Amino acid sequence: MPNTGRILVVDDDEAQIKFLATILEADGWKVLPALSGQRALDILDRGEEMDVILTDLLMPGMDGRQLLAAVQERRPEIPVIVMTAHASVDSAVELLHAGAHHYLEKPAKLAELRITVRRARDTTEARRELARLRRRIDVPSGVVALSRQMQEILDAALRVASTSTPVLITGETGTGKEVIARAIHAASGRASFVALNCAAIPPASFEAELFGARKGVPPETRREQTGALESANTGTLFLDEVAETPLSAQPRLVQWIEHGTFQSSGAAETQKSGARLIATMQRSPEDAVAARQMREDLFYHLSIVHLHIPPLRERPVDIPALALHLLGRLADRFQLDAADLAPEALAALTAYSWPGNARELENVLARAVALRGAKQLLGIKDLPPHIARIGGGGARAIPGSASAMLTLEEVERRHILHVLEKTGGNKLKAAVVLGIDRSTLHRKLKQIQGLAALQL
């Protein structure tokens, strides 16, 4: 069996470590034992590469909670699974809020142990891939991309960033088109980022805003005006909703894209601009051409590199990380204490379809933060009713809990089974809809079957 990864097993009971090592090594894991929390930190501090940490909760000296806090500070990318013989709803929720990836009740069922450490390993791989992309492309902190679709978009953005090729970014409202545009600009090394919202400029003023104007041009542009093209000369020109560019201005825009030259309104001389063009639009460019809103030659120039950002509902794996990022941004913006999300609230957010995408998510979280009072943890009741209802039924319960909570695993399970049902059981079509390859879908279905067996 191929190596599954490296796992640090922490327990003051040597017999327990040997038992766990026997099970995990048989599955292909490389097990590093540690008989104390301090010994585990020593292993991490010497730079050992680790995929998962599996630790007991109650240990003399540094216990599992203290080790978890230390790992969060030193190596936050490594998921920590906590094992305890004294499981309770309160302790489980406390551990999850403290940053634990999962908790297991001792003695753990072997199938549950195997599934949990494997999923933790998958989380590590996703985090490392995102870190790799962030090292390669200087993306703004607003880019959250754990899904394969978004990672592929970021990778394409990296490859095109250093060129002068125009880029067209499409997607529904609120999907983060400008965020990706700024990521490309940041990786390009260009100077300024000049943005123009084509939908917000009156048609009579558009050409002066884009190309500039010289004195004496009646009636709207009598004053001399520096246009966006001139301002963005060595930087990036960002045209938001480019399909709203007046048809009368599009030939001049095409001329600049082709030759790098333009004329300000009322000017006799030709100017040059070395700006790089990044444009966005919500609708499909083909539809805009068919509706005679966009000239074909402009369409052809813009569509050389076309990045389409899928809506949030098609990449639910990005929702938890995006929600937590937005909470941090909201706290900074309004100078508030940072808020956190209870597991059931996070699960409801993940299950919701988000027609307004990331912008709607941010508005929902802003409302929750504004109305939370003094509490730090946002629960299901802090969400709007139409979202809160999603987390209310048919959930798997934490052992010993009186009320069920919908976990992220359960959300994923339901979504996969729902897509399979809609595709008539066709796994290839389901994998395409889910944005994963077929082998990943097969692996997830095996995990779902394993969880189902555990619940019998």
Tell me the pLDDT tens digit for each residue of 253-312: 999 999 999 998 877 789 999 999 999 999 999 999 999 999 999 999 998 999 999 999
Q: What is the pLDDT of residues 162-177, one digit of tens each?
A: 899 999 999 999 999 9
CA atoms of 239 and 406, how far apart (whole Å): 42
150 vs 401 pLDDT, higher one: 150
Please write the tens of the pLDDT for every residue from 224-242. Answer: 788 999 999 999 999 999 9
Taking 90 as the threshold, does the pLDDT of residue 341 lie above it? Answer: no
Name the phi and psi angles at 155, rounded to 5: -65, -40
Cβ burial, residue 274 (10 Å; 0-12/13-18/19+): exposed
Chain segment 387-411, per-residue pLDDT in tens: 988 755 433 333 333 333 445 565 6
pLDDT of residue 160: 92
User: 308: phi > 0 → left, psi -120 to 50 → alpha, else beta; which?
Assistant: beta
Verdict on whether the full-model pTM lies above 0.75:
no
**Residue 278 pairs with which residues in a beta bridge?**
167, 238
* Residue 387 near residue 348, CB atoms below 8 Å: yes
